[in-house]
Structures are given as structure tokens and as C-alpha cells.
């Protein structure tokens, strides 16, 4: 039987899924698959909570399909080898995917498209995880925006509300019940850290509450957007006209995506090369204290402990934590970015990189390098009652809590001198 394949990746949902909807409406036999990519998994611990989340989400999708006589084919291995086996086993007519814009994904999809083409199979790719992709939001001269505000203005100018696609019909799915593998069979174990359900009913108060970590009023949406358990169109459709601050955060996500796409060197290099001369201290002991939440600065330490224990960190706290590492401790932003990549449930290369370079002052739309947060002032301003820091630092105020590892005034002056000396003319 001629078969079309839909390849789940960063779009783990049956609703409003662009490529899946296109595959199903062709009214041909559609086999849904997911591949656990060993090239990625080999670098992760066996209890990685993000892998757990993917697994549990796929299990839910599979149960839905099983109730309608179908299932997801779960595979594991090196992507190229898996696809060679699929080509040998099935009479594949076409493969449907939603685009992924990260460097590894682009290279992967190029290789798979080539392999499929060599076997007479068409790879059909769709825009799905963004509203505006690749080169859709550009300056008048055809070059990409590197400053957020004009990008946002152009994004809004081009935006037209998009209809959510109607529910899919299950009649065109491949009618075979594949066994759903256990986590142990796939080489995973249960994680104590779980992804929280998202909430969008507080978007209208987001502007007033977003800076106060003790209020716990954020949406917890970002891991769901990262793995596509909800689509960006579905999110925006739920927003009101007054929810502009919340919408801006979604536009920041796409801004950093297009920065990464047009300037892939930012993965390892400063966006602004004039900062390449900064002499980072990169003290391993200082970095360990920062990682463990033992700096003596409560807001920094609470943030790191929240991250280590839950995979989350409040956005305001992320700025303070990142700024402290780069400016107070003079540790290369790449160290912090790599640590966040291991821990964050919502880790996304483009946003993680963009925000870390913003904190270091080396990125696009960068804050001036002389903008250095005072962590104690940030605490007084945004957690005055210390409800947030006391939640994560039970020993706060006792002799068990460490003294400040560095004086703020000294660290600020040292950072200013180091940056001035390191700026290349």
C-alpha cells in the first residue's frame, strides 16, 4: 500500500498541526512516526525530564489514535539509518514535516530530503511553529532586523489572524496497532521533574505581575511551545487585544529564531564582534557556587535552586542570575548558556542564546555593557517580603547561608574596567 508518513518532531499534538492536517486531507494512508534521535539522546542523562515529557505526550497521542484504530510508530536510532529502514519497509509516497529552524535540524532535514529524493520520495515541509518564518519579516533593503522594536513593528504590520484548522478525521490514518515501547526499552527512566500545565487566563495581568517571582503568575507556556503540545496560532487566538505585553514575549521568541537563522555563528560567537576582546576570568570554583545557588546573593541563589529542582526559573530572576554570572563573576556567557541548556524545561537554542548574549551585553539589541544589576536592589524591588527567596533558601538568615562571595561595588567596577579594556575598536 502506498503510504504517506507524517513525522512528529516539535509539534506533539493532533490539533491545528499544519503538516499533519495537510497529510490527512490528502485522503491517503498516513503513518505517523516519531524518532528518538540517538545523536541528541546520547548527550542527555537517562532521566532527562524533557525526554520524559516527550514520551508521556506521545503516549497520550497514541492512546487517542488507538481509540480510532491507528497508532504512532515509535522508533529510536540514528536518523539516517532509521529512514533507510523505513524506505525499505514501506512504499513511501511522500513525507510531511513541519519546519524546524535550528542549525542541527536544518542540516538533518537537508540530508533526509536528499535521501528521500534519491528514492523518489517527496519531502513536503510546512511553516507551523511560528507566525512569521525565515525571511518574511525583513527590512526594506531585504536584510534581517537585528533590533527588536522595529522587528516587532514590522511583525505586527504583517500579522493577519489565522484560522485554527478544523479537527482532523481519523479515517485516513494507517490502520495498524504498533506496540508502544516502555521507557525502559527506550533507555529512559522516570524523572522527578515534570512539566507543568500552562495557563493563559492571566495574560491580561501579565504586564503588572510578570516581574514579581513570588506571585508565580507566569503562564508556564514555554515548554509547551518548545515541543508543540500547543500551537502558536492557538495561543494567539486565546489572547485579547489588551494582552500586548504577553504578545510581545511571543514576538521576542520569533525574533531570536530569525537571528539564529540569519546569523548561525551566534551559537558559539558574540553577535557583536567588538566584544571579542573581553578577558573572562572563568573561575571554575565561582562557577560551581553559581550553579549550586551558593553565591550569598539570595535572588541569584533562589533562582538557581529553583532551576536545579524544577527546570523552571522566573524571567526576571533569569536576567539577574545571568547578569551576575557575566558581570559580577566575569564568566563567559557560553558557560551559563550551556548550563541552562542542560536544566531548562523550555530550553530553545535561539531564545537561550539570545537572552544570554543580551545579559552579557554582547548580543543584538544589547543592553549597554555598563548596565549592571544590583542583585540586592533587585530583591528589594521585586521580592520585598522575601517570599520567593525564602521558599528556595530555607537557611536564609542563618549561619548556614553563605556570605556574599563578592562585593557588588567591587564587582561592578571590575566589570566596567574589563569591558572597556576588551572592546575592540
3-state class (DSSP) for residue 124: strand
| Helix/strand/coil for 297 | coil
Give me the phi and psi of 373, to 5 degrees please: -65, 135
Given a contact cutoff of 8 angstroms between Cβ atoms, the answer to whether 223 and 12 are in contact is no
What's the residue count for the chain? 425
Of 211, 260, 405, 422, which is closest to residue 325 (Cα–Cα)?
405
* Terminal Cα-to-Cα distance of the chain (whole angstroms): 65
Complete domains list, the chain, with CATH:
1-128 (3.40.50.620), 130-164+200-262 (1.25.40.80), 267-422 (1.10.579.10)
Q: What is the percentage of the chain residues whose pLDDT exceeds 90?
A: 92
Instruction: Give the pLDDT of residue 173.
Output: 96
Q: So what's the pLDDT on residue 1?
A: 83
3-state secondary structure (DSSP) of residue 75: strand
Lowest mean pLDDT among 21-30, 107-116, 292-301, 303-312: 21-30
Cα-Cα-Cα-Cα torsion 270, 153, 349, 58, nearest 10 degrees, comes to 180
Looking from the CA of 351 toward its CB, the CA atoms found within 13 Å total 20
Q: Alpha-carbon distance 201 to 206, whole Å?
A: 10
Nearest Cα residue to 297 out of 396, 385, 216, 202 = 396
Distances (CA, A) of 335 to 105, 191, 234, 261, 352: 23, 25, 35, 22, 12
Active site positions, annotated: 249, 252, 280, 315, 333, 356
How many Å apart are CA 217 and CA 214, to the nearest integer?
8
- Rounded CA-CA distance 329/322 in Å is 10
pLDDT of residue 367 exceeding 80: no
Global pTM reads 0.96
For 106-161, what is each residue's pLDDT tens digit?
A: 999 999 999 999 999 999 999 999 999 989 999 999 999 999 999 999 999 999 98
Amino acid at each position: 500500500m502506498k503510504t504517506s508518513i507524517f513525522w512528529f518532531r516539535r509539534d506533539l499534538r493532533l490539533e491545528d498541526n499544519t503538516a499533519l492536517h495537510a497529510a490527512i486531507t490528502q485522503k491517503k494512508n498516513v503513518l505517523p512516526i516519531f524518532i528518538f534521535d540517538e545523536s541528541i539522546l546520547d548527550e542527555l542523562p537517562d532521566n532527562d525530564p524533557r525526554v520524559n515529557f516527550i514520551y508521556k505526550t506521545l503516549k497520550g497521542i497514541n492512546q487517542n489514535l488507538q481509540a480510532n484504530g491507528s497508532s504512532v510508530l515509535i522508533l529510536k536510532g540514528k536518523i539516517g539509518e532509521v529512514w533507510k529502514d523505513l524506505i525499505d519497509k514501506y512504499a513511501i509516497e511522500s513525507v510531511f514535516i513541519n519546519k524546524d529552524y535550528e542549525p542541527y535540524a536544518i542540516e538533518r532535514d537537508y540530508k533526509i530530503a536528499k535521501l528521500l529524493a534519491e528514492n523518489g520520495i517527496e519531502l513536503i515541509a510546512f511553516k507551523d511553529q511560528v507566525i512569521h518564518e525565515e525571511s518574511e519579516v525583513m527590512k526594506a533593503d531585504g536584510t534581517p532586523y537585528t533590533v527588536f522594536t522595529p522587528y516587532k513593528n514590522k511583525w505586527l504590520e504583517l500579522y493577519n489572524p489565522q484560522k485554527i484548522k478544523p479537527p482532523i478525521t481519523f479515517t485516513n490514518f494507517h490502520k495498524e496497532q504498533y506496540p508502544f515501547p516502555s521507557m525502559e526499552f527506550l533507555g529512559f527512566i522516570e524523572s522527578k521533574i515534570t512539566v507543568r500545565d500552562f495557563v493563559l487566563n492571566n495574560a491580561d495581568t501579565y504586564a503588572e505581575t510578570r516581574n514579581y517571582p513570588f506571585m508565580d503568575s507566569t503562564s508556564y507556556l514555554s515548554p509547551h511551545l518548545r515541543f508543540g503540545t500547543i500551537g502558536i496560532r492557538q495561543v494567539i487566538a486565546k489572547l485579547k487585544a489588551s494582552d500586548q505585553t504577553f504578545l510581545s514575549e511571543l514576538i521576542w521568541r520569533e525574533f531570536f529564531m530569525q537571528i539564529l537563522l540569519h546569523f548561525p555563528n551566534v551559537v558559539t560567537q558574540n553577535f557583536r564582534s567588538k566584544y571579542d576582546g573581553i578577558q573572562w576570568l572563568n573561575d571554575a570554583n565561582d562557577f560551581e557556587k553559581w550553579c549550586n545557588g551558593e553565591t550569598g546573593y539570595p535572588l541569584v541563589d533562589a533562582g538557581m535552586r529553583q532551576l536545579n529542582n524544577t527546570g523552571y526559573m522566573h524571567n526576571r530572576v533569569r536576567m539577574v542570575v545571568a547578569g551576575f554570572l557575566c558581570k559580577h563573576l566575569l564568566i563567559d556567557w557560553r558557560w551559563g548558556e550551556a548550563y541552562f541548556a542542560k536544566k531548562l524545561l523550555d530550553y530553545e537554542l535561539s531564545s537561550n542564546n539570545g537572552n544570554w548574549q543580551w545579559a552579557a551585553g554582547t548580543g543584538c539589541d544589547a543592553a549597554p555593557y555598563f548596565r549592571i544589576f544590583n542583585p540586592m536592589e533587585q530583591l528589594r524591588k521585586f521580592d520585598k517580603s522575601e517570599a520567593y527567596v525564602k521558599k528556595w533558601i530555607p537557611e536564609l538568615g542563618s549561619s548556614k547561608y553563605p556570605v556574599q562571595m563578592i562585593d557588588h561595588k567591587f564587582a561592578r567596577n571590575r566589570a566596567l574596567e574589563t569591558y572597556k579594556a576588551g572592546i575592540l575598536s
